[in-house]
Structure 1
């Protein structure tokens, strides 16, 4: 995993400095709902993915890190608007993708921020995006969903994107909450969250950069365990 992450970081650094324009490029842009954070995002993540797979000659994981997902944007917005939730605390951003939520936590004054993902490209994206925003975030590779964690604040932005993932993530979040962590979840209503067991903290109309999705704002909730 270390070698894969190092290789992915080298590729992303080459991508973001390469000249040229087009749908298959990465660009450093302000996040639509969280303009305080800039991210290296794909003009079109699917087109970028196709080019990278062709160059690699093998399938690559879907580049979830190359878009600003609505649930992550809502959670990042909430943290920046309520820095007292984060200040001087140990924070874990689960399935971080681009690192948006982790970067927002760092900007809000967290003492320590770990951004975790299983995709080496996402771990690399956290590194380049944290660098662009001049914050300290520890990018961590690996699957934590069967582990016990010790953090003050556990953040999960838009992690319930399919039923299989939800079936693993939700018990993990409940265990973390039972162990004393404060848990916040950003959810745009993808249909994989039970109506019970969670309460809404705030709801935002959030635009998205997700591929093949209407960019018009959609209601997104920030939730905590009831």
Structure 2
């Protein structure tokens, strides 16, 4: 079952959580939140994720494909990037606008990735976890572990909000939490809990990852990295 939320271009799905259904409006929102810093943030995410020439990379919740494009440049022609997104609209948009021949996009959910075991050197999942239904987030992290090769690297990122980004994150968090309770109950909780990426550190260790490391980006993101043991 799904329903439209008019304050933001999303559909709420009981199976997949929040699906962004308007790539162009999403791009406009990103421009407002990050301004000229977005390209620098993408470069930082690629560097921190550790993608190098020849790597196979999976970008979960790839949206309009901007991070996938930056990753594709980093891995070069001998590497590859696969973007997975639960929104058909996002996948269609990313396919049309993909510039690199080593990049592909498929429809799929973070909690049931349509890829084989131990397939990737790097997995990225940015500004996505709060969109996944709360009861399926541990499943999504377990899937990330499954598809990484031994020694592979995971990067999770979400808003580390200040200023306008903090206000927008508050709205998005309230929409996400309202799925599981009343608006009144949602309002009584920490409005930024769902976008604090550090909340997944213990779960990552529980599914098998080594102890994660957290860093706060100067560009408004919190970044959590972890490695699958060899």
1:201–1:224: 8 Å Cα contact kept in structure 2? Answer: no
Cα distance in 1, alignment partners of residues 159 and 125 from structure 2:
12
Gaps of 5+ in 2: 1-5, 11-17, 161-194, 206-210
Bigger fraction of residues in helix: 2
Q: Which of 52, 64, 69 is the aligned partner of 1:86?
A: 52
TM-score with structure 1 length normalisation?
A: 0.55
Change (3 A) 1:179 1:144: farther
1:168-183 paired onto structure 2 within 5 Å = 168-177=139-148, 179-183=150-154
* Counterpart secondary structure, 1:143: coil
2:159–2:222: 8 Å Cα contact kept in structure 1? Answer: yes
Q: Which of 156, 175, 185 is the aligned partner of 2:125?
A: 156
Match of 1:141 in 2: 107
2:58–2:83: 8 Å Cα contact kept in structure 1? Answer: yes
Gaps of 5+ in 1: 1-45, 51-59, 207-217
Shift of 1:106: 0.7
**Residues matched between the structures, number:** 159
Match of 1:223 in 2: 225
1:91–1:153: 8 Å Cα contact kept in structure 2? Answer: yes
1:61–1:119: 8 Å Cα contact kept in structure 2? Answer: yes
**Residue 63 in 1 paired to residue 21 in 2?**
yes
Give the RMSD, CA atoms, in angstroms. Answer: 3.8
Match of 2:217 in 1: 204
Match of 1:128 in 2: 96
Shift of 1:77: 2.3
Return 60-69 or 185-194, whichever deviates more.
60-69
1:75–1:185: 8 Å Cα contact kept in structure 2? Answer: no
* Counterpart secondary structure, 2:62: coil
Cα distance in 2, alignment partners of residues 137 and 116 from structure 1:
11
Cα distance in 2, alignment partners of residues 115 and 125 from structure 1:
12
1:108-123 paired onto structure 2 within 5 Å = 108-110=74-76, 111-123=79-91
Cα distance in 1, alignment partners of residues 48 and 153 from structure 2:
14
Cα distance in 2, alignment partners of residues 183 and 194 from structure 1:
12
